[in-house]
């Protein structure tokens, strides 16, 4: 089954790449929440810089980069947006989440 996703139980699924190797694919709901947190922290930091907020923004940025397999935050945000667009196209996120929010995209 080329391209099939298998749940790993940790907010990620395993997908089979073209080379036949398994890769982890983040859960779109987890990615959406992380993007929302990243955007909120960027706005808050722009309004008023604090050391605590800067540390939290760095942590969220690092997590997003690791989750998306990218080395820079702009690449990670772009990859996350692409993942969410693909999930929406596949119908995986067609319905509202338990919090009632629809898909949100973030452009940096």
- The Cα 25–Cα 7 span in angstroms is 9
Task: Report, as an integer, the average pLDDT of 55-71.
Answer: 96
Q: Report the distance separating Cα 76 and Cα 26, nearest Å.
A: 12
Pairing relationship of beta strands 5-7 and 22-26 according to DSSP bridges: unpaired
**Sequence ranges of the domains in the chain:** 27-89
Tally of CA atoms within 13 A in the half-sphere of 54 that contains its CB: 4
**Rounded-to-integer distance, Cα 38 and Cα 66, Å:** 14
pLDDT of the residue at 43: 96
pLDDT digits (tens, 9 = 90+) for 10-61: 455 555 555 667 778 899 999 999 999 999 999 999 999 999 999 999 999 9
Is 34 in contact with 42 (CB distance < 8 Å)? no
pTM above 0.75, yes or no: no
């Amino acid at each position: 089954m080329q391209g099939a996703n298998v749940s790993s139980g940790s907010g990620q699924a395993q997908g089979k790449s073209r080379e036949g190797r398994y890769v982890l694919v983040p859960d779109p709901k987890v990615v959406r929440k992380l993007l929302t947190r990243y955007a909120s922290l960027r706005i808050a930091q722009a309004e008023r810089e604090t050391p605590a907020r800067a540390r939290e923004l760095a942590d969220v940025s690092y997590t997003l980069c690791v989750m998306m397999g990218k080395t820079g935050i702009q690449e990670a945000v772009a990859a996350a947006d692409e993942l969410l667009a693909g999930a929406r196209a596949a119908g995986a996120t067609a319905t509202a989440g338990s919090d009632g929010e629809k898909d949100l995209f973030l452009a940096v």
